[in-house]
Amino acid sequence: MQDELDLQVARLGSALSWEIGPGSSKPNALAISPGGDPDLLSITRTVISEAPPIDGWEFHPAKPPKKWDLQFSLSEGSEVVDVDARSWRYTLLDFGDGVYDLTLEAQNLNAVGDELRSAAGEALVEGILGEERRIEVIGRIDVVTRMSRGAAKEAGPIANLAMHVEELTSTTSAS
SS3 152: helix
What's the maximum distance between 2 C-alpha atoms anywhere in the chain?
53
Residue 18, φ and ψ in degrees, nearest 5:
-140, 160
Predicted local confidence at residue 45, as pLDDT: 96
Sorted by where each begins, the domain ranges of the chain are 2-60, 71-174
Beta bridge pairs of residue 80:
75
Alpha-helical segments (H) within the chain? 2-12, 38-49, 114-129, 131-137, 149-154, 161-174
Q: How far is CA 15 from CA 35, 43, 77, 81, in A?
A: 6, 11, 20, 25
- Among 132, 137, 129, smallest CA distance to 36 is for 132
SS3 27: coil
SS3 31: strand
Predicted local confidence at residue 174, as pLDDT: 53
Q: Divide the 175 residues of the chain into consecutive groups of 10 and give the mean pLDDT of each group.
A: 81 86 94 93 94 95 95 87 96 91 96 91 97 96 94 94 93 56
Predicted local confidence at residue 173, as pLDDT: 56
User: For 26, how many CA atoms within 13 A lie in the half-sphere containing its CB?
Assistant: 12
| 63/60 Cα distance (integer angstroms) | 7
CB atoms within 10 A of CB 168: 15
Predicted local confidence at residue 78, as pLDDT: 82
Q: How far is CA 89 from CA 139, 151, 159, 161, in A?
A: 17, 10, 8, 9
| 162/105 Cα distance (integer angstroms) | 16
**pTM score, whole prediction:** 0.89
CB atoms within 10 A of CB 46: 11
